[in-house]
Amino acid sequence: MQQSIKKYSLLIALTAFAACTKVIDINLNDAAPQLVIQGNVTNQAGITTVSISKSVNYSQDNVFPTVSGAVVTIKDSTTGITTPLAEITPGIYQTATIVGTPGHIYLLNVLVNGATYKASSTMPSPVTLDSITFQVNSGFGQTLINPMPNFQDPAGINNNYQFIQTINSKITKKIFVFDDRLSDGRYISRQLFNDSAYIQPKDTVQLEMRCIDKNVYEYFKQLSGLDPTNGQPTAPTNPVSNISGGVLGYFSAQTTQKKKAIVP
């Protein structure tokens, strides 16, 4: 059903929740607050976090109400091990005991206010990020420097990639995702275009490369189409979550690795 279009800010976590969060303005339908669930499982030792909050309307302050008292578990369906997450601070549920295994399927279960929300995500096999180089583009009176991750895409496998870019310790407010539909089995050196985050010589750039499953890729692809820093936004609509029950957000089992490079 089409409704009048309004703006509100939705909290989108692009890295581990303890590291960074991102607020972007998205054109979405003017609607009552919705539950927002966001969580990641990675193949690295550390803290696994699920955050639960509520969206706010465009007319409200940019403060996202947290949701306490939920029962949150993550199950490795391959091993059958279920891990409960403890509420560390209001709306933030964590555990330090999960280290994800590529090929395993992880199931998120959230019970809150008498309703149950579920999600499934399969952790892909990791792809090695070899190096970061830079492409200099000149035109229209300005020079743009874009980083390029360099890596070998495995042949015959559907691979989906997300990159988190940090410039001089500041995470870029931009979504970088692509798949290997046109580059299966090739060596990839692909520019990450920075329309508004300008990189200068001698800057230190870090890229975190995440291998994500298809559903999570589609979520961030749709989200990137709503982000004005990624060019002309597409028609406003909520990104399709891989979490059941009509909530916003996502649950991702992903591999991760980081590399840094200094711009020449």
Minimal CA–CA distance to 93: which of 36, 35, 52? 52
Q: What is the DSSP letter of 219?
A: H
20 backbone dihedrals φ, ψ, rounded to 5°:
-165, 150
In this predicted model, what pLDDT tens digit does every residue of 181-217 receive, in sequence order?
999 999 999 999 987 668 999 999 999 999 999 999 9
Q: What domains does the chain contain, in order, with CATH numbers? A: 5-124+239-256 (2.60.40)
Average pLDDT over the chain, rounded to whole? 85
Q: Is the pLDDT of residue 111 over 70?
A: yes
Looking at 30-114, which runs of residues are DSSP E strands? Answer: 35-42, 48-54, 71-76, 81-89, 92-95, 105-112
Position 31 confidence tier, pLDDT thresholds 50, 70, 90:
low
Q: Is the pLDDT of residue 15 over 60?
A: no
Poorest-pLDDT segment among 93-107, 192-206, 230-244: 230-244
- Tell me the whole-structure pTM to 2 decimals: 0.84
